[in-house]
Structure 1
């Protein structure tokens, strides 16, 4: 089954696991494996049932509690998810990951037993490996910040990030150099040559920018419209381009289009549309969504390709105060964002990303990209929600203002926040002193 999963043959893997259950229905691990694969496919209701069956067979296994918590939180059942994390803590009070899951969902109070237990674990941190120590410090950083002790919390974030950074082989020159080369190849002249080419579909919407910049909120607003579907942070565009490169080597070039025919470009555009539509597993209508939102934020590097393949695609750039953005990134143990674990690297990445976005805004016709500032959105939600919806070519629908009532699956780090009405407490968040922030400020070019 592992090989099938590696080949992305998820349906076949599930079928094999179910065949095992026909003969051995009491295998908790097999039910759990099916649940994990169903979650991966976006079938959260089915995943929940499989995991509940696994839990019923092995009720004292804390890892099953955390699996249930993850599915529940993505479904928007935040209180139930938090309860599962607390049950996992009760079963395995020495596991830092359980506390980290809890504090990402709930604001602890100073007298919460979970915070007391976290503080006790911190005195024993030397007995944990680096990964578990990092989880412990991330959890304490969040909990202490929530209880009004941000300076103490930041000291734990520093330790947590240092532990994570030491385990990575992040190649900063390669990453920043690749961003610089994009603007060298996709010049204004090259972009102008794309006129009158590309797929006619207006279905794709791309939200780009930095993590923690309000992108999940924007997607949730759009996904609350009855004609739009939010696919989340999906690798669909990157997967499509990898497959295109396998078929046609010209796609491997930094500027591939001179070596590609219009038919080859249209085939790639159509492949993406087919893939992204298959992700709309819970779309309730017989006709496909008018718009499908892809919130993979680093697609800002592919804006030139997006414009060439789908001239009518909408591109929304979410922006937030640079220091607030970077400090928020620094507080979260992202799985795949290696640039976020060092303040200097984080600042330099942010600076290069903004330079590339400035290039796109200069190279493309005015109003091609809609910039949405998080601070503006929070201060005047009705105005900016209507602006977003109008840019996407949709008629206004008041459901877009009730985004927190939308029960769609959300998998990002903001999954708890978008289940509540809009709040302003994240504006102008607490900041350490300038000396502590020096690496970040220098990385940003002293921006912000």
Structure 2
């Protein structure tokens, strides 16, 4: 079947190149009869739209494009094809909108920029014309293979994009645009360590390349390396350092380093120079929310929406305050904007989640679920997530750390400092963190990316080369997590030491600190090998409450499993299975804390957790809501209130929509 579909797709492409539309139509008819995968279906719909347009059947072309965008709402070439159709139909306004969207989702579409330039010139839109000219000059200035590689990357064809880029670099070593493209592909593939090395090298070779600096700083932010961002920005020439982009990067780094007042000063300085900066208002709102200044956060988010009325993230940020309640007028405006055909997918996703929360607050649960469902479906369509791949990755952890050889390494780094809180998102981990951070011997930090980075580092050529020296077959690549078994005692020690050193900038002076990255449950085997004395707390919550809370939470990034009820249920089950395995590997070393038990007996559970860590009981941990600290998760407002059960049973009014969960957990 796969060979048949590939052959037919090739026939369509060749027929279109040769102008043989009848042959293309015949092959497409066969393709539509096949049971093809989603990628092939998208390509078939796109080629069908092109065929219809070339045959001057514009209405059918638009229908194919609509079907394609329902499947892939961020497919830039689909919008470009729509633009050509609308131009041919004489609808210049629709064409302009389509070409603009094409460039938003795939900036490498040079012809879309050229079409926009013609339209902007015709209507004397000088500002838009200047932007189009700048973009045309940039993309025309790139080597053709690199422009083609960007096109492939933006259309989510990462494998071919990487192949094209590497072939170019073989002939043009250290070409900066190619290095940056390969780094961007690496970021999308989540090969962060390789991407970081590429961008570091690019900046070292081309220190004046501002685009490379911007990409590097953006990656450091994604990795949570805020201290490096601060040093990088402060080392830039003053003119570059004072740009809005670099000042924003510096302010966000300050937030990550708990320098909240400094971050707020930078945001306010940018807004004093020009208040029409919605993204700065949004960031200022996040800073105030982190510091617990709810009223200032709300006002900042409203200013972001004022200056950008279709800014979906501003409305979602208001909704994500949890305590904020939208007025009927605000809901009506949000609904109108959510239906606007010119709205970007990202803004629509944010608005749908905000409207889901707004209707939930007004107890219109069917309408609420409809918006949550739509927002999740749109978000999922923009991702390449596979729950099957995730389940396989979890099985690999079980295979890589069998029970009989999974004991902690006595030769890892012996520091007892880290307390890892792991588990599902929305499982009560922020509450446990707040309880522990209220203790005088424990520093709270945030969700740190360092373990994920160290896991990625094990797959790098440098580390693999070191491992190869220890294996009989030196050419064999042993991927993480299986490579952990090949680490020497010294390598385990050095990796553990690196974790402690890298996280020091997030700590104060307490002997213990918390790393609240929930996804670290996947890496407990690695943690116990490199940090044998680390404490691990598994935050667990009722599956119905936990899974539904994930489904209605729009995460900043990551947690791709959460955008489908079936995916989140399967992820929860896989998490339980892996945690059972870790408990067998490390009996007595991992403490499971059920959220419901904390609600039932706060003092008793606090005493139990502190006893596990080995610190004396302190009453401040029971009065956790009085602790003043920075909190950077969606649960920030909840944990600043006394213990309550407001989050329990939130799924029940939605029960008729939750068959994917109830069939597994009820």
Q: 2:267: which partner in 1?
A: 51
Q: 1:328: which partner in 2?
A: 549
Q: 1:183: which partner in 2?
A: 398
* Aligned equivalents of 2:409, 2:448: Cα separation in 1: 28
Distance 1:92 1:2, change over 3 A: closer
- TM-score, structure 1 as length reference: 0.90
Q: 2:350: which partner in 1?
A: 135
Distance 1:153 1:6, change over 3 A: closer
Greater relative CO, 1 or 2 (CA 8 Å, sep 6+): 1
Distance 1:53 1:6, change over 3 A: closer
SS at match of 1:180: helix
Q: Is the 8 A contact 2:400 2:482 kept in 1?
A: yes
Q: Aligned ranges for residues 37-116 of structure 1 at < 5 Å?
A: 37-109=253-325, 111=327, 113-116=329-332
Deviations 1:48-105 (A, max 9, x none): 1111111111123333211210111112222210121122233333322211111111
Aligned residues: 433
SS at match of 1:53: helix
Q: Is the 8 A contact 2:353 2:552 kept in 1?
A: yes
Q: 2:214: which partner in 1?
A: 2
Q: Is the 8 A contact 2:413 2:494 kept in 1?
A: no
* Aligned equivalents of 1:79, 1:216: Cα separation in 2: 22
Q: Which structure dedicates a bigger proportion of its chain to helix?
A: 2
Q: Judge which range, 382-391 or 424-433, deviates more.
A: 424-433
Give 1:150 deviation, angstroms. 2.3
* Aligned equivalents of 1:69, 1:7: Cα separation in 2: 22
Are 1:212 and 2:426 matched, yes or no? yes
Distance 1:62 1:77, change over 3 A: same
Q: Is the 8 A contact 1:231 1:276 kept in 2?
A: no
What RMSD over aligned residues (CA atoms) do the two structures have, in Å?
2.3
* Aligned equivalents of 2:312, 2:330: Cα separation in 1: 11
Q: 1:171: which partner in 2?
A: 386
Deviations 1:407-447 (A, max 9, x none): 322211212212222221111213356552222345xxx22
Could you list the runs of 5+ residues in structure 1 that have no partner in the other structure?
A: none
1:151 to 341, 360, 366: 366
Give 1:117 deviation, angstroms. 2.8
Q: Is the 8 A contact 1:4 1:13 kept in 2?
A: no
* Aligned equivalents of 1:400, 1:180: Cα separation in 2: 37
Give 1:108 deviation, angstroms. 4.3
Q: Judge which range, 27-36 or 406-415, deviates more.
A: 27-36
* Aligned equivalents of 1:306, 1:273: Cα separation in 2: 12
Are 1:385 and 2:606 matched, yes or no? yes
2:579 to 344, 347, 357: 357
Q: Is the 8 A contact 1:62 1:87 kept in 2?
A: yes
Give 1:212 deviation, angstroms. 0.4
SS at match of 2:652: coil
Q: Is the 8 A contact 1:201 1:310 kept in 2?
A: yes
Pick the structure with greater CA Rg.
2
* Aligned equivalents of 2:396, 2:456: Cα separation in 1: 19
Give 1:11 deviation, angstroms. 3.0
2:375 to 160, 171, 178: 160
Q: Aligned ranges for residues 203-352 of structure 1 at < 5 Å?
A: 203-246=417-460, 247-249=462-464, 250=467, 252-280=479-507, 283=508, 288-334=509-555, 335-352=557-574
